[in-house]
Amino acid sequence: MKQRVPSRDKFGAASRVENRHSNPMSDLRTTLPTMQSEQARQRRRERKRLEREEKKMRSKKAQMCAGDELDFLLSRRVAALFTRAIRSARKDARSALRAPPTNPEEDDFPFNEATRAALPEAGEATAYSCQGI
């Protein structure tokens, strides 16, 4: 009868079927390069996880202001006010484009009541929130 000789990997270590799926860090027969590559993989995974968490935290902490000054970071509450004002202004602009001007002496950009109500709130909140930046 022939005895089965275990196959060897490129580093000369005997490979066994039961060890292929085990953790290389806890296997006593694991070679040094295998352990080092496993450690490097774990470090890469951890670094990517930390980068994802950092990105999420920055996103939650502040939102970018979509106006002329894109470098100002605003809190979520202020960004929400600003967004409402922009939406209302866009709605006014669309309605102004559809309707012919009734009074030529009016401003170039006619505001409705919703825009007038939203803009002062957003302007005050923006001024106060950007003082500390």
- Contact between residue 62 and residue 73 where contact means Cβ atoms under 8 Å apart: yes
Segment 83-112, tens digit of pLDDT: 888 888 888 887 777 766 565 555 555 555
Which residues fall within 8 angstroms of residue 80, CB to CB, at 6 or more apart?
Answer: none
Task: Give me the pLDDT at residue 70, please.
Answer: 43
For the entire predicted model, the pTM comes to 0.30
Residue (of 83, 78, 89, 60) closest to 126 by Cα position: 78
Task: Give me the pLDDT at residue 114, please.
Answer: 56
Average pLDDT (26-32) is 75
Task: Give me the pLDDT at residue 42, please.
Answer: 93
* Amino acid, single-letter form, for residue 15: S
